[in-house]
Amino acid sequence: MTSTAAAAAHQDGPGVDRPSGAGRDRPGLGRAAAQAMERAAEHLKSLQSPEGWWKGELETNVTMDAEDLLLRHFLGILAPGTLAEAAAWIRSRQRPDGAWPTFYRGPGDLSTTVEAYVALRLAGDRPGDPHMARAAAWVREHGGVESARVFTRIWLAMVGCWSWDDDLPVIPPELVFLPPNWPLSIWSFGCWARQTIVALSVVMAHRPCRPVPFGIDELRSHTRPRRRPAGAWGRALLALDKALHHYEALPPQSWPKRLVRGAALREAERWVVARQEADGSWGGIQPPMVYSTIALVLQGYPLTHPVVAAALRALGSFVVRDEAGRRVEACQSPVWDTALAVTALVDSGARPDDPSVTAACRWLLSKEVTVRGDWAVRRPGLAPGGWFFEFENANYPDIDDTAEVVIALRRAGAPPGSRADQACQRGTRWAVGMQSADGGWAAFDADNTSELPRKLPFFDFGEVIDPPTADVTAHVVEMLAAEPGLDHEGWHDALDRGVRWLLANQESDGSWWGRWGVNYVYGTGAALPALAQAGLPARHPAIVKGVRWLVEHQNADGGWGEDLRSYVEPAWRGRGTSTASQTAWALMGLLAAGERDHPATQAGVEWLVANQTAEGTWDEPWFTGEGFPWDFNLNYHLYRHVFPLTALGRFVLGTGPRAGTVGTSLHARPHAGRREGCP
């Protein structure tokens, strides 16, 4: 960094208060931060696998465990030991009021509580047991099983606790025949929903029932919730659902079903089998894995069939057993975790030839995607590239992982002409090709923005489309702005459009919404480093507003935290118990904006130092990751470590993006057309 750029990076924007004596660390802070950084780096290295990857547990909620037990019951493979272990874990997660939440210290959730209750009944818990009576009373008080979401009632129908004819939508397998550009084709949905829908359509066509030896009348409120569709499209889709119910009621030998139903089931079966990954999973996530396995069994596949046997092994690999109990992950995140770990180590002073860094880079390179996946339906002329999230998921690389892997490989070296350099170029080229028409980037698909899927009566849980978001767009902008191939590849336009998207999508209060992390702290902590890497000066209004928002939402203890309720209640925006990961995100934003000496930054670093454990990490039971905002929440167990290490490294060593020091963005340099170098 030049002296001029360094000075610019530490200038204040208007409205950002600076203390007298700015420019000096608080007494002893620099040394304490450096020591905390070194302890954290050593601890992170101790967590690395022999193959070079890192993977923290991906904690969710007990629906994963309940559905795992119901699946095993349905398939006839539920072992008594598995049932007892899983039931003990489910009991341990119950709230005092009888309900089960979807995140740590969250409110009770009706569908989660219903599924947990049924799983415990399967384990032999009786309705009269105190914990079960409390749960049943809570369910009735909150609308009863009748008010549970569609997917919960589908599970209940499969085990004989709900009727297939009672308030369930129709998902016909004939959907697979709709062309990609038709409304409500499977390609209108995000990839996670698309994989679930195709498999679930087979299940719902068969309408299976393998009953459990009990009923759940004690969960019924004997009232019917009013499911009013919203708007004209909602009413039209409800009418379509009624028409599909009439079609579904036709006998199998009627001419419409005789002509298409069998062919649709065979095509859906082929579609599912073609998308099984090398490790036996589908998309590396629980819902498609579970429904695909059931669908194939219903289509006549025995449990010993190679496809089903591989699926069962994959499901087994998602089981975590330790002193806390047996539980099931919804997904696994080794590529994501490893990329973040490499960046954290490099930012905290590890050399490119550090054995931990080189082993991780070799492993990441082995996971590069070299085949076309579902994304090619929208981008048929785009060459493959990039990375996925899990151990195996070549059909669904994602743009967010690709950006973070390229950032990590570039920061770790990737000399010109090397294997890493070529992989970075392919990944960047693929990510640029996946830019949506509005200039932003989504996670898996391009221009997956139709609102119709959200209005369907059978989707009452989670996001079903994949529009561009601030966090993913920010990561791609940060990647592009540091890419040495920016000139000769002609990627300036993609970068400029991405910067414009971020500026246009900043909230009026100065924050950015977070799709895959909680929430405005995550979005703002991603956007500020991206804009800084793109060359915006510290005085740019967007950076000034973002800094002000972070400062205003710092907790009195010096940390930052944001509760998941911020997705549904504006009063929670930027508010919550301080956590290590969210404090680190805020610090990364402030440091990128040139605010190293701001009292908010100093207090945040002090919080990280004071709350580090003796092992060199941080405790974080709070959920700060997202699957579906508010509906399906995640606790990435490595977040509590990699992000604080990154923040400490950037504070101590001055690594990472800095406002005004790169100059690649046409917004930062309106009269410049070419990039002048690397950071």
Provide the annotated active-site residues: 400
- Rounded Cα distance between 266 and 125, Å, is 40
- Rounded Cα distance between 109 and 100, Å, is 6
- Rounded Cα distance between 204 and 207, Å, is 5
Let me know: does 238 contact 457? Beta carbons within 8 Å. yes
- Rounded Cα distance between 425 and 60, Å, is 35
Distances (CA, A) of 68 to 62, 113, 275: 10, 15, 21
Q: Which residues contact 165 (CB under 8 A, 6 or more apart)?
A: none
Strand 632-636 with 58-59, pairing:
antiparallel
- Rounded Cα distance between 501 and 438, Å, is 7
For residue 108, report the phi and psi dihedrals to the nearest 5 degrees. -65, 150
Question: What per-residue string of b and e applies to 428-451 under the rule 16 or more CB within 10 Å gives b?
Answer: bbbbbbbbbebbbbbbbbbbbbbe
Let me know: does 120 contact 85? Beta carbons within 8 Å. no
| Residue linked to tokens 């969960």 | 219
Distance from the Cα of residue 369 to its chain's centroid: 19
For every residue of 123-135, DSSP letters joined together read TT--TTSHHHHHH
* Per-state percent for the chain, helix, strand, coil, to nearest 5: 50, 5, 45
CA angle 38, 551, 578 (to 5 degrees): 55
Greatest CA separation for the chain: 85
Class of residue 307 by CB neighbours under 10 A (exposed 0-12, middle 13-18, buried 19+): middle
Distances (CA, A) of 320 to 36, 59, 85, 315, 673: 30, 10, 11, 11, 52
Q: Which residues contact 283 (CB under 8 A, 6 or more apart)?
A: 191, 192, 195, 275, 277, 289, 393, 395, 396
- Token pair, residue 320, equals 């975590």
| Listed residue (496, 438, 494, 470) closest to 663, CA to CA | 496
